[in-house]
Amino acid sequence: MINRVVLVGRLTRDPDLRYTNSGTSVASFTVAVDRNFTNQQGNREADFINCVVWGKSAENFANFTHKGSLVGIEGRIQTRSYENQQGNRVYVTEVVTENFSLLESKAESDRYRAQHGGSASSAPRQQSQSSFGGNPYGAPTNNQGSYQQDNAYGNGNNDAMQDPFAGNGSKTDISEDDLPF
């Protein structure tokens, strides 16, 4: 049986970081994912998907993302239920995040946030950047706390991403016969 979810979208609000009674951190957030088609008015609709991430990854996610951040999420769908204070049974479906990626530079994220309302500052809320092995974005690649430094984000160049093939002296020439589709 397979239960895999991959999402790319923007956060609808700042992540909500909490701690269990045993001290385990958990962050909940919602990702807005655009649909591939437009409605009758020509506008693109979106799905708002609830997600949760646990452990050290939850702290990293909460510290380095904010409302409007473009993120990639990989995980699994989980359903659960509980009884609320009024005695009603509440059913919850959410994506349990196992891996995530920050998909834009800090400068792009700040620019998007400024254009769509909100502060341009996205400084970490709890931990210093130095605790993430020199990567100022602290993008975890899995829940075991290992980090991958991407040259586009971790080299101190906060400008918009550039074409990785530009200026290397070689020209990329691909014929129609080389394409797999």
Chain length of the chain? 181
| Residue 175 within a domain | no
What 8-state DSSP symbol labels residue 76? E
Q: Phi, psi (5° rounding) for residue 139?
A: -75, 110
Q: How many domains are there within the chain? A: 1
- Residue 20 falls within a domain, yes or no? yes
Pair of tokens at residue 85: 């204070």
Predicted pLDDT at 174 = 60
Residues of the chain with pLDDT under 50: 120-161
> Is there a domain that residue 117 lies in?
yes
Q: Tell me, yes or no, whether 94 lies in a domain.
A: yes
CATH code for the domain in which residue 148 is found = 2.40.50.140
Q: What is the pTM of this model?
A: 0.62
At residue 134, what is the residue type? G
Sign, CA torsion 73/74/79/84: negative
CA distance 85 to 133: 44
Q: Which residues of 70-103 are buried (b: 16+ CB within 10 A; e: fewer)?
A: bbebbbeeeeeeeeeeeeeeeeeebbebbebbbb
Q: 123 lies in a domain? A: yes
pLDDT score, position 121: 45
Residue 59's closest CA among 144, 126, 7, 121? 126
Structural domain contains residue 180: no
pLDDT confidence of residue 172: 53
Query: What was the pLDDT predicted at 119?
Result: 54
Any domain includes 111: yes
Q: Which pLDDT score, from 0 to 100, does residue 180 have?
A: 59
The answer to whether the CB of 90 falls within 8 A of the CB of 83 is yes
User: Whole domain around residue 47: which residue ranges?
Assistant: 5-161
